Amino acid sequence: ESRLQLYAQYKMKPESAELDRLRAVNSINRDYIMVKADFRDNGILPLRYDICLEHGVSEAAFCRTIDRFASVVYDAVHDCAGSLLA
pLDDT at residue 69 in the model: 96
Contact 61, 14 (CB under 8 A): no
Among 3-7, 24-28, 38-42, 44-48, whose mean pLDDT is lowest?
38-42
Residues 33-59 pLDDT 10s? 999 999 888 899 999 999 999 889 999
pLDDT at 1 over 80: no
Percent of the chain with pLDDT over 90: 83
Q: pLDDT category, 61, cuts 50, 70, 90?
A: very high
Cβ count within 10 A of residue 66: 14
Dihedral, CA atoms, 37, 66, 6, 30, nearest 10 degrees?
20
pLDDT at residue 16 in the model: 93
State the average pLDDT over residues 50-76: 93
What is the rounded distance in angstroms from the CA atom of residue 41 to the CA atom of residue 14? 10
